[in-house]
Amino acid sequence: MGSYRFIISGGGTGGHIYPAISIADELKRRHPDAEFLFVGAKDRMEMEKVPQAGYKIEGLWITGIQRKLTLKNVLFPIKLISSLIKASNIVSRFKPHAVVGTGGFASGPLLKAASGRNIPCVLQEQNSFAGITNKLLKNKVAKICVAYDGMERFFPADKIVKTGNPVRADLISIQENQSDALGFFGLNTQKKTLLVLGGSLGSKRINVLIADNLEFFKSLNLQLIWQCGKGYIKTYEGQNSDSVKIHAFLNDMAKAYAAADMIISRSGAGAVSELCLVGKPTIFIPSPVVAEDHQTKNAQALVAEDAAIMIKESDLEEKFKEEFLTVFESEEKRERLSKNIKALALPNATKDICDEIEKLLN
């Protein structure tokens, strides 16, 4: 038998792209001669990030349905037909042995085309509330790898395997020493440190919250590593000081996590999976503008296990300081949150997903 060929499709956000790349990297480690092709949506971030990771990608002309009436919705049927035809051509030409979908618009046409030719397909659902593309594909695929319990609400129980979400390899065993990490950021080893993460693009609402509360944090003798996003760095870089370190983007997440005593974060699926491994007390502020309100549901799944605190954006004005202090001022509470969030970590996710793919090859 010659070398294997894999198509991996997913994108739109980092939450779909990075798991896809992690899966490809692990399959490549196991099958060095394998060929890989990614399929994404034209004009989305995967068209840049996948080639940076060393893989070929082809783009489909596809977008999601907008919630309000727009020209994009009028074009949707045309884009869908065009994408189905192109996806069918890609599958015919590349002849994959297996196809993996990690969510996002492009994976719909691609997995439909592959499953129609009886090519084994695996879905990877990152969120606690299944995305629309994956729900539509549930009967066409052989296996569905999930990160949360209770996914039988969305998918056939006999296809579900709980694997967790792939995370960056350097986070699986954080060996960083806290005082070394604090030194790297130019911070004081005698002070408690708060890490603020607004997602890869930054969060306007979280940035406003942090800027409004700098005096409050100072009164607690707390220092900050604040990832504000590249679109906001000009607005906030003037607030840099000995105890507030502002970054557009954090390239060394292992050091940032190691430096932190507490974390404030969005609750995208990738962030949640990383934070379970990291095991630090975390306050989630979900983005209210994502599809199907995924982030709130992801955070609620952890709150239900007493593994994190969640504050909705609409409640920040009245609840933030009070909720923050309940964690900051209680060592017992911080230790409990740490222990409970760490218990939810699934560090072998990438390996387990690739094991499922390999079973289908045989």
- In tens, the pLDDT along 9-18 reads 987 777 788 8
Contact 108, 137 (CB under 8 A): yes
User: Is 170-342 in the same CATH topology as 5-166+347-361?
Assistant: yes
pLDDT, one tens digit per residue, over 342-352 is: 999 999 999 99
Q: Tell me, yes or no, if the pTM score tops 0.95.
A: no
- For residues 255 and 194, what is the distance between their CA atoms, to the nearest angstrom? 13
d(CA 294, CA 315): 18
Non-local (6+) Cβ contacts of 29 within 8 A are: none
Average pLDDT over residues 237-242: 96
Instruction: Provide the pLDDT for residue 53.
Output: 92
Residue 68 in this model has a pLDDT that exceeds 70: no
The CATH-assigned architecture of domain 170-342 is 3-Layer(aba) Sandwich (3.40)
Mean pLDDT along residues 71-82 = 78
Q: Which residues is 162 bridged to in the sheet?
A: 146
What is the number of other CB atoms lying within 10 angstroms of the CB of residue 277?
21
- Binding site for UDP-N-acetyl-alpha-D-glucosamine: which residues? 13-15, 127, 168, 200, 295
- pLDDT band at 290; cut points 50, 70, 90: confident
**In this structure, are residues 115 and 136 in contact, taking their beta carbons and an 8 Å threshold?**
no
Q: What is the pLDDT of residues 34-58, one digit of tens each?
A: 999 999 988 888 898 899 999 999 9
The string of pLDDT tens digits covering residues 158-207 is 999 999 999 877 777 667 899 999 999 999 999 999 999 987 778 999 99
- Is 60 exceeded by the pLDDT of residue 67? no
Residue the block writes with tokens 């065009």: 82
23 vs 87, 104, 143, CA distance in Å? 21, 16, 15
> What residues form the annotated binding site?
13-15, 127, 168, 200, 295
pLDDT interval class at 308 (50, 70, 90): very high
**Rounded to 5 degrees, what are φ and ψ at 251?**
-80, -30
CATH class of 5-166+347-361: alpha beta
For residue 66, what pLDDT band results from cuts at 50, 70 and 90?
low
Domain range summary for the chain, segments of one domain joined by +: 5-166+347-361, 170-342
Instruction: State the DSSP string of 334-357.
Output: HHHHHHHHHTT--TTHHHHHHHHH
Residue-level pLDDT at 65: 59
- Mean pLDDT on 106-131: 94
